[in-house]
Structure 1
Amino acid sequence: MSKQPTAAWPYLLQLDHTGKEPLYLQLYHALRQAILSRQLSAGTQLPPTRVLATELAVSRTTVITAFEQLVTEGYLEAHVGAGTFVASTLPEEMLQVHAQQAPPQEGKKPPRLSQRVQQVMHSPLRPPVQALSAKAFQPGLPALDAFPFDVWSRIAARRYHHPPPELLTYGDPTGYRPLRDALAQYLTASRAVRCQPEQVLIVSGAQQAIDLIARVLLNEGDMVWVEDPGYPRAHTILLGAGIRVVSIPLDQEGLNVEAGKRLSERAHLAYVTPSHQYPLGVTMSLARRLALLDWAQRVGAWILEDDYDSEFRYCGHPLASLQGLDTHGRVIYMGSFSKVLFPALRLGYLVLPLELVEPFIAMRALYGHTSPLLEQAIVADFIMEGHFLRHIRRMRTLYAHRQQILIEAIRQELHGVIELEKHEAGMHLIGWLLQGLDDRLVSQLAARQGIDVRALSACSKQEFKSSGLLLGYAGVNEQEIREGIKHLAKVVEAIV
């Protein structure tokens, strides 16, 4: 294990004590960059938190907070009684992350676009570039009962009272510019996404985003990696576009990149949920993230990063995005307001590599042109006036509480039948069914009782040793959780 001289730390980790960014975040970014640029090599031991706090003239809490986040994300390893070290499993040949995207190389071939978008861009007719019900335990449903509709109503009334003419037209197909500005700022600060407003494209939800990506980047018969188990709608949308979907298995580190190479080395795109895998909740390790980026760069593939619920992390801070590690412009970042605000908005967004912006605008202008502008303006105001971040902070506390209520209810009513463990992130848990129960049968019978529990097997092409149920807890209050589990217990009792 190597050690960095103590005197070198203040020079390596320069902090701005008068800056606006919190010191713990400055330290986190400085250490992360030092690791990725190999200034700190694998196995390097960091000073004790008290020593480093003294050397940097910060509180020990600042150092501990930064260390904990880096340990969570896999950059550091903490060994009880021995200290904290730079992770030893990082593939050093990949650790070259720079502050900006690598400049375009001379003679670089243009991106491979689908025949559909090429026809649109060269067509003389090309446009100018200018419910599900809320019940237990629907996955992905936010706490509608805790949404600040009073604040939302005031903003909406202000916007609808005297809307400017530009909000009543077809608008810019890229989306409302102030919303794109707000998103670029938010994603840079909270998710370590590297982007400018020009790279942000507003879409009508994640489904439209996936369809748009298929239309722009894929031809019929192209192969795409998807996680197995994974998000069923993504799988179906790709199949509907004539894409050959290749199911890639998971393990505790996330998508198995080596398995993907064996199954389809020359796939054109990989769809992943690295921060909180849907539905299992696994976080993709740093080594896997770098391996995935290396594969995409080497074969010229794209990566679609679906960051569907990363705001809701109850221990530490949200994990940094995969896109933030991408130095070659191979990652398309996707997010949605359905889970952080409410699904009826039908608003989402893509962060695109610069070379893909023009073709995506061309296809977006043709299909739907733009999402409703007044709603985009309301969301922009909601973000810029500070309500968005306050709402997320409140929901983190509320969802952590509701998760605990769900766990307690399962233990009381279904002990020995469903195994459920606390998780540090997300809006649902997997209830593993014991005693050989069929999750599809349980799901079907529960639906007849007004209980929405999704079968895990419906998300996968492979067979699991244990079947399971997706139990969403975010959108149901304490009473509804307890009553719902009692109804579920009656359903299970009738089968056992």
Structure 2
Amino acid sequence: MRPAVSAELAITLDRTSTVSLPQQLVTAVRELIRDRILQPGDAMPATRAWAEQLGVSRGTVVTAYEQLAAEGYVVAERGAATRVNPSLAITHPETTADRPRPHARAPRTKPTRTHQTPALHPAQPVTVNMLPGQSSSEHLSTPAWRRAWRNAADGEFEAAPLGGAPEYLSAVSEYFRRMRGLARDRNQYLATAGGRDGLALIVLTLAAERPGRPLRVGVESPGYPSLRLALQRLGCTLVPLPVDDQGLRTNALPQGDSRPDLVIVTPSHQYPLGGTLPITRRLELLEWARQESVLIVEDDYDSELRYVGRPLPTLTALDEPNHDTVVLLGTFTTTVAPGLGIGLLCVPDALRPRLIDARADLGSPVSSVVQRAFAEYLDSGELARRAARMRRAYRQRRTAVLEAFAEVEHLTVSPMDGGLHAVLHSRRSESGMLRACRSAHVLVEPGGEYWNRAEPVAAAAEPTASTPAASTGPASGGSIVIGYAHLTDAELAEGLRRLRAVL
């Protein structure tokens, strides 16, 4: 975070002017911003210090700040410094356009009247980044958050046990019991550095037990492109599994020699189409996995960010603990912060010691300090309150997305019962949609990237009369995926306005 700019900025107030002192200060700050002396994100001087330096009352500075905030030049949060708006390029693009520096400014001359309108050279529009997969850490720094890290840093710096710090495992066990209805002992959990670390630990453990051939992993199609790339990096052969608007199609699961060793599913909120796996399909999936001896990895991503109805219990909670069928893969990236790097696995009793042996060779990527801090944060109940606040905020943004495209002909939006993104489907080709988005200076992700087209890929079972063929891509037209969690309200509104105009 940048330090505050000096209160000794070169500002002169004219007490003989008919313009009020607060208005003079507002005008001066606007000029400092336009001259790039004040830049987006800069912390403004404290009101008391600046009032003393300028020789005015603190109320004068407060009034000026309030007007600047109303105009979108600055932003203010309770308990934090007033800052030059980080989204200034959206609210006031003219202030970030290329212009001469103050020392290079040409002398002002009296304009000459002509009958010609001078040519305008508008600045290049600022790109709005609407790429999905980005969460927000807004309003994270609460007293509970700061206290947890302060207490953790004051403790010992010994290495945590390979499975995880006991206090962290206990806090995670209690959190999932209360929030997700999963009653599991803390000794069934392991600490990870997030989703990919937990997945890599499982894959490497199982692959070592099956020497001589690649591990076959079933993945949803469409699904995470980055997950497929990670699995291929680990030497896996991918088996694409079709999905529809309710999630994984359990009537199209491969059997016999075509079955995978491992299946990764997102039952709470299928990514990217947004479906929630119904209870009937969940039970069918569990039965199939037991009969075919397939391990299920339940990716619990986005499960708490649900805006319609109540979330269903985890797939892990439906499985009998002694069946050894499901592993829960969790991360706190979405609900806390993208850079936190902490997650969990909830595993069957028979699998946990094998994962611990692998961890002994690979080492633990999560420090004891991080685990202690997050354990206290979970125990404080602050994460549950934060998730509730985020659901309210994201529900409003979801509504804004749906309303923006409600009357756009030939354009539909996937259900979006939860999560941080939306999928826009059009009769236009995907390449045409992407060209339109580029022309509007909006970054989006092509929907085709989510269908499994990477190599090497193993074919799923041949479809029968009762088994529909696997999805290979959008039925017709094209699609794009947009994210909306990381944007300010102004950025989201501008991005949606541009997309609506070109789509």
**Could you say which TM-score interval applies, normalised by the shorter chain?**
0.5 to 0.7
Residue 25 of structure 2 aligns with which residue?
Answer: none
Deviation at 1:255, TM superposition (A): 1.5
Q: TM-score, normalised by structure 2?
A: 0.65
Does the 8 A contact of 1:225 with 1:260 survive in 2? no
Does the 8 A contact of 1:253 with 1:288 survive in 2? no
Residue 178 of structure 1 aligns with which residue?
Answer: 167
Structure 1 residues 149 and 469: alpha-carbon distance in aligned structure 2, compared to 1, 3 A threshold: farther
Corresponding letter in the other structure for 2:480:
L
Distance 1:447 1:158 in 2: 48
Structure 1 residues 447 and 380: alpha-carbon distance in aligned structure 2, compared to 1, 3 A threshold: farther
Kindly indicate whether residue 226 of structure 2 is the aligned counterpart of residue 233 of structure 1: yes
Deviation at 1:286, TM superposition (A): 1.8
- Deviation per residue, 1:365-391 (Å, 9 max, x gap): 322424022222221111111111111
Does the 8 A contact of 2:275 with 2:415 survive in 1? no
Distance 2:198 2:488 in 1: 31
Structure 1 residues 157 and 354: alpha-carbon distance in aligned structure 2, compared to 1, 3 A threshold: same
Kindly indicate whether residue 424 of structure 2 is the aligned counterpart of residue 431 of structure 1: yes
Residue 397 of structure 2 aligns with which residue?
Answer: 402
Corresponding letter in the other structure for 1:463:
G
Whose radius of gyration is greater, 1 or 2?
2
Corresponding letter in the other structure for 1:470:
V
For residue 144 of structure 1, give the secondary structure of its aligned residue in structure 2. Answer: coil
- Deviation per residue, 1:452-496 (Å, 9 max, x gap): 311111010312123211121222222111111234356x46xxx
Residue 475 of structure 1 aligns with which residue?
Answer: 486
Kindly indicate whether residue 214 of structure 2 is the aligned counterpart of residue 200 of structure 1: no
Deviation at 1:316, TM superposition (A): 3.3
Which is worse superposed, 471-480 or 150-159? 150-159
Does the 8 A contact of 1:190 with 1:318 survive in 2? no
Residue 329 of structure 2 aligns with which residue?
Answer: 334
Does the 8 A contact of 1:200 with 1:351 survive in 2? yes
Q: Find the partner of 2:318 among 312, 318, 325.
A: 325
Does the 8 A contact of 1:432 with 1:467 survive in 2? yes
Deviation at 1:335, TM superposition (A): 0.8
Does the 8 A contact of 1:274 with 1:284 survive in 2? yes
Does the 8 A contact of 2:263 with 2:295 survive in 1? yes
Question: What is the percent sequence identity of the aligned residues?
Answer: 29
For residue 344 of structure 1, give the secondary structure of its aligned residue in structure 2. Answer: coil
Distance 1:360 1:417 in 2: 49
Corresponding letter in the other structure for 1:270:
V
Note the 1:65-214 alignment, pairs <5 A.
136-160=129-153, 163-165=154-156, 168-214=157-203
Residue 118 of structure 2 aligns with which residue?
Answer: none
Distance 1:441 1:199 in 2: 49
Q: Find the partner of 1:293 among 286, 292, 296.
A: 286
Distance 1:380 1:357 in 2: 21
Residue 466 of structure 1 aligns with which residue?
Answer: 477
Q: Find the partner of 2:388 among 390, 393, 417.
A: 393
Kindly indicate whether residue 362 of structure 2 is the aligned counterpart of residue 371 of structure 1: no
Structure 1 unaligned runs (5+)?
A: 1-133
Distance 2:263 2:414 in 1: 29
Residue 447 of structure 2 aligns with which residue?
Answer: 456
Q: Find the partner of 1:485 among 465, 482, 496.
A: 496
Q: Find the partner of 1:244 among 227, 237, 244.
A: 237
Does the 8 A contact of 1:410 with 1:418 survive in 2? yes
Q: What's the Cα RMSD here?
A: 2.4
Residue 84 of structure 2 aligns with which residue?
Answer: none
Distance 1:488 1:378 in 2: 41
- Deviation per residue, 1:260-279 (Å, 9 max, x gap): 22596432111100111111
Corresponding letter in the other structure for 1:145:
E
Q: TM-score, normalised by structure 1?
A: 0.66
Deviation at 1:169, TM superposition (A): 2.7
Note the 1:40-79 alignment, pairs <5 A.
none
Does the 8 A contact of 1:304 with 1:333 survive in 2? yes
Residue 269 of structure 2 aligns with which residue?
Answer: 276
For residue 497 of structure 2, give the secondary structure of its aligned residue in structure 1. Answer: helix
Does the 8 A contact of 1:455 with 1:469 survive in 2? yes
Structure 1 residues 399 and 383: alpha-carbon distance in aligned structure 2, compared to 1, 3 A threshold: same
Q: Flag the structure with higher helix content.
A: 1
Corresponding letter in the other structure for 1:383:
L
Distance 1:176 1:388 in 2: 19
Kindly indicate whether residue 309 of structure 2 is the aligned counterpart of residue 309 of structure 1: no
Does the 8 A contact of 1:323 with 1:333 survive in 2? yes
Q: Find the partner of 1:359 among 338, 351, 354.
A: 354
- Deviation per residue, 1:126-177 (Å, 9 max, x gap): xxxxxxxx964232322323334454223323332xx222xx2332121221
For residue 350 of structure 1, give the secondary structure of its aligned residue in structure 2. Answer: strand
Q: Find the partner of 2:217 among 214, 218, 224.
A: 224
Structure 2 unaligned runs (5+)?
A: 1-126, 453-471
Structure 1 residues 212 and 145: alpha-carbon distance in aligned structure 2, compared to 1, 3 A threshold: same
Deviation at 1:247, TM superposition (A): 0.3
Corresponding letter in the other structure for 2:302:
D
Corresponding letter in the other structure for 1:324:
A
Distance 2:414 2:292 in 1: 39
Note the 1:437-452 alignment, pairs <5 A.
437-438=429-430, 442-443=433-434, 446=437, 451-452=442-443
For residue 146 of structure 1, give the secondary structure of its aligned residue in structure 2. Answer: coil
Deviation at 1:312, TM superposition (A): 1.0
